[in-house]
């Protein structure tokens, strides 16, 4: 078993690059330069509900919505009151939506039932690593 050798000089630079990247993302959003689709999760788990169709007015007719029609550059999923938010580029979320581990789901509360898929955070990471 080998022990980890901390390389604070290399790790510090890597961390600073991440801070700069995140800072640019926040400025981009705050400046109104990017389109963001924001969702808020009540259930604290690793599944993200991604809507694909809605039935406006409960007519029985589902039409494309959500991920099927979005023009957002990124989607955010805020996890309740935890202060944790996932920020996912839309093309990556679309790939994860089609991943074999995602599963069909529905939301039937309210005046606009929706259909979509539950996408696991691990699937998002898996498709992010694909070439």
**In the chain, where are the structural domains located?**
35-129
What's the residue count for the chain?
A: 131
Q: What is the pTM of this model?
A: 0.84
Residues 6 or more apart from 130 whose CB is under 8 A from it?
95
Per residue in 36-79, pLDDT (tens digit) is 999 999 999 999 999 999 999 899 999 999 999 999 999 999 99
Helix (H) or strand (E) holding 127: helix 121-129
Mean pLDDT of 28-34: 84
């Amino acid at each position: 078993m080998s022990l980890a050798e901390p390389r604070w000089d290399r790790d510090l630079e890597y961390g600073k690059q991440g801070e700069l990247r995140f800072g640019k993302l926040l400025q981009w959003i705050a400046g109104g330069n990017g389109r963001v689709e924001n969702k808020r999760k009540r259930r604290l788990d690793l599944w993200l509900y991604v809507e694909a169709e809605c039935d406006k007015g409960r007519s029985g007719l589902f039409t494309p919505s959500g991920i099927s029609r979005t023009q957002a550059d990124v989607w955010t999923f805020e996890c309740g009151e935890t202060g944790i938010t996932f920020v996912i580029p839309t093309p990556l979320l679309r790939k994860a939506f089609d991943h074999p581990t995602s599963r069909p789901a529905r939301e039937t509360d309210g005046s606009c039932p929706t259909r979509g898929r539950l996408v696991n955070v691990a699937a998002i990471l898996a498709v992010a690593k694909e070439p």
